[in-house]
Structure 1
Amino acid sequence: MVSIQVLEAFIRGKVSDEKCEDTIVNTADFIAIVDGVTSKSHFKYQGKTTGKLASTMIAGILERMPKETRLPELIKQVNQRFAAFYQQVDFTADPKSQGLQAVAVVYSRYYNQLWQVGDAQINLDGQLLTNPKPSDLVLSDMRSLILRLSPNSNQQADPGRKAILPWILKATQFANSDDSEWGYSIFNGQPIPETLLKVYPLTDGPHQIVLASDGYPKAARNLAASEAGLDEVLKNDPSCSHTYRSTKGLVAGNRSFDDRSLIHFVVTPEQ
């Protein structure tokens, strides 16, 4: 077994901390960042959006799981929890494109492994481990192009975001599908093919680990460096369409272009 020392943990909502759809898990057995997918509908349940509901459900499962639980069992339990929610609630939107969705990066102390489901980030001993959604890379470029071709439009209205939003929703058909180069992993109630999951077994030596949501352009070695990278983007490219291309930019009055969360910890072998 290994010992864990958490050095830093930080969470900040793009609008407010109350509306933040990210959740941090920090238990004796599991450390995780769970990033609820930005809600694409007006649905709320008990005041919570689909992204907030999804992230808190997954976090609750992680906090109660036995230490020997493996990633496939976590996915199974999440799917059961999502299914129970849909049975209890009258959800009228399309569940696959607008329902409960979240991504996560998880550290398992028992297995000394990192698990990556979706596009949340890992910085392992200075090495950035990402898992971007293929369609988001294309649509981020498309949004950038539209904004460049619309210099006289109201940039705050973000015509690029409006143009790509239907395609963001359509691309959910590739969720948890391994029969296409566009496939990607996500917690959405479906089984996730093993080929789309990323599991990183760690060596026995000490490790510096940062887990972060994609509210940071890059998960750096620590919180200060990650915040500095974000500050640079917000200052020099607030539309997130030039040096840092994203499917959305900074909205006037918001604190950032997305919710963000980060946890920084050290893993060392027990003597």
Structure 2
Amino acid sequence: MKYLEKSTGRTAAELIKQYIECKLDVNADIKIFAEEVTELIRNAYVEAGVADLVAEHAENRMTASTVVYCDNRKEVWMIGDCQCMVDGVLHTNAKKIDDVLAYMRASLIALAMKRGASVSDILKHDVGREAIMPLLREQCNFQNDACCDEFSYGVIDGFEIPQRFLKVIDVSGGHSVVLASDGYPKLMPTLNESECELNRLIVEDPLMVGKFKATKGLLAGQCSFDDRSYLRFTL
């Protein structure tokens, strides 16, 4: 269901960006941050008249993952599927349900290729992705699940984020910090190195079914399998 001019993910990202730039208190911790951005998006549902709808149908929610550096506390805050690297040490926040569906997609593609499909065929018509799409929609029901389910995960979506999904990295003794989305399968200390690793992977395995399994591969006309963000700075 479409109730916004932009995508739900884009709208969530813009709301969070505006909040960080204009409203986030310098003394806030990750708990305050999570509570306030959750309230912000919840209010947006009310204004759009879809509060009841999104409560029942999680796939229609404005959803975003975020990684934030708090200079006042010398911390990196991670909510959802994102990455952080501090002086070469990688910190991730991946979802187990994504791994399960990625393996399912890879097995279905392997079966299709065993029956004669080529890489080119799959790039044009990803039978694995097509098969797991209903499950990708259903996995939204695990987000911010208060039950300690192994498939549950945290995101910013206007509903309470359980404490266990608020990840804090202490960077007070660090020097170089990288914040990135999950669009980089192998995060490196520099943007150039990260892009080179991504390009190497795309050349070797455009379907993303080998060493790095994903819920989607490269699509025609695209330069990568997922959107990506990368920010590096020194303390």
TM normalised by structure 1 equals: 0.78
Match of 1:246 among 210, 214, 218: 214
Could you say if the C-alpha distance between residues 195 and 82 of structure 1 is closer, same or farther in structure 2, counting changes exceeding 3 Å?
A: same
Residue 112 of structure 1 aligns with an amino acid whose one-letter code is K
Q: Determine the structure 2 residue equivalent to 1:193.
A: 162
The alignment status of 1:202 with 2:171, answered yes or no, reads: yes
- 1:211, 1:219 within 8 Å by CA — same for their partners in 2? no
Superposition deviation, residue 89 in structure 1: 2.0
Superposition deviation, residue 255 in structure 1: 2.1
Q: Distance in 1 between matches of 2:216 and 2:99?
A: 12
Residue 181 of structure 1 aligns with an amino acid whose one-letter code is E
- 2:3, 2:48 within 8 Å by CA — same for their partners in 1? no
1:10-56 alpha-carbon deviations (Å, 9 max, x no partner): xxxxxxxxxxxxxxxxxxxxxxxxxxxxxxx6x2623x111110111
The alignment status of 1:218 with 2:180, answered yes or no, reads: no
- Structure number with the bigger relative contact order (C-alpha 8 A, sep ≥ 6) is 1
- SS of 1:181's partner is coil
% identical aligned pairs:
33
Match of 2:88 among 107, 112, 126: 126
Q: CA-atom RMSD, angstroms?
A: 1.7
Superposition deviation, residue 95 in structure 1: 4.5
Between 90-99 and 142-151, the greater mean CA deviation after superposition? 90-99
- 2:83, 2:92 within 8 Å by CA — same for their partners in 1? yes
Superposition deviation, residue 169 in structure 1: 1.8
- 2:154, 2:161 within 8 Å by CA — same for their partners in 1? yes
1:70-113 alpha-carbon deviations (Å, 9 max, x no partner): 11221222122212221222556765123200101111000001
Residue 242 of structure 1 aligns with an amino acid whose one-letter code is G
Residue 121 of structure 1 aligns with an amino acid whose one-letter code is Q
Q: Distance in 2 between matches of 1:180 and 1:206?
A: 33
Matches within 5 A, 1:147-162: 147-151=109-113, 152-153=116-117, 154-155=121-122, 156-162=124-130
- SS of 1:230's partner is helix
Residue 50 of structure 1 aligns with an amino acid whose one-letter code is T
Residue 109 of structure 1 aligns with an amino acid whose one-letter code is D
Match of 2:70 among 88, 98, 108: 108
Q: Determine the structure 1 residue equivalent to 2:48.
A: 89
The alignment status of 1:227 with 2:179, answered yes or no, reads: no
User: What are structure 1's unaligned runs of at least 5 residues?
Assistant: 1-40
Q: Distance in 2 between matches of 1:243 and 1:60?
A: 38
Could you say if the C-alpha distance between residues 174 and 195 of structure 1 is closer, same or farther in structure 2, counting changes exceeding 3 Å?
A: same
Q: Which has the higher strand share?
A: 1
Residue 57 of structure 1 aligns with an amino acid whose one-letter code is L
Q: Distance in 2 between matches of 1:206 and 1:244?
A: 29
- SS of 2:65's partner is strand
Residue 36 of structure 2 aligns with an amino acid whose one-letter code is Q
Q: Which has the higher helix share?
A: 2
Q: Determine the structure 2 residue equivalent to 1:135.
A: 97
User: What are structure 2's unaligned runs of at least 5 residues?
Assistant: none
Q: Determine the structure 1 residue equivalent to 2:143.
A: 175
Q: Distance in 1 between matches of 2:60 and 2:101?
A: 18
- SS of 1:102's partner is coil
1:168-205 alpha-carbon deviations (Å, 9 max, x no partner): 222222211242111211111111111222111223x3
TM normalised by structure 2 equals: 0.89
The alignment status of 1:63 with 2:21, answered yes or no, reads: yes
Residue 77 of structure 2 aligns with an amino acid whose one-letter code is W
- SS of 2:21's partner is helix
Q: Distance in 2 between matches of 1:142 and 1:69?
A: 41
- SS of 1:106's partner is strand
Residue 73 of structure 1 aligns with an amino acid whose one-letter code is I
- SS of 2:187's partner is coil
